[in-house]
Amino acid sequence: MRFYFATPHHSWERGTNENTNGLIRQYLPKGESMAGLTQQRCNAIADKLNRRPRKRLGYRTPEECFYEN
């Protein structure tokens, strides 16, 4: 898999990353305390996001594209 490094402070070069940040904000709103956030909750959020179809992946899920069974 190829890796690309964006220029610092150029969020437009990181479209997928910025989109994912927005998806995470659905579960962890900005300004909300993370003091009570558990690893179990983080794992549940990651599972939901990894099972969500993405246009960029041809409406497949990241789980379908990147995880070996």
> Does 17 reside within a domain?
yes
Q: Is residue 32 part of a domain?
A: yes
pTM above 0.85, yes or no: no
Q: Is 50 helix (H, G, I), strand (E, B) or coil?
A: helix
Count: domains in the chain: 1
- Model confidence pLDDT, tens digit, residues 14-31: 887 888 889 999 999 989
Question: pLDDT tens across 34-64, in order?
Answer: 999 999 999 999 999 999 998 888 999 988 9
Q: Under a CB-based contact definition with an 8 Å cutoff, are residues 24 and 49 in contact?
A: yes
Residue 20: inside a domain: yes
Task: Evaluate whether residue 51 is within a structural domain.
Answer: yes
Task: Examine residue 6 and state whether it is found in any structural domain, yes or no.
Answer: no
45 in Cβ contact with 39 (< 8 Å): no
> Residue 40's domain spans which residues?
11-66
37 inside domain: yes
SS3 (DSSP) at 60 = strand
Domain assignment present for 1 = no
- Residue 2 belongs to some domain of the structure: no
Measured in whole angstroms, how far is the alpha carbon of residue 66 from the centre of its chain? 13
Closest CA to 17 of 54, 63, 59, 45: 54
- Report the C-alpha gap between 56 and 16 in whole angstroms: 8
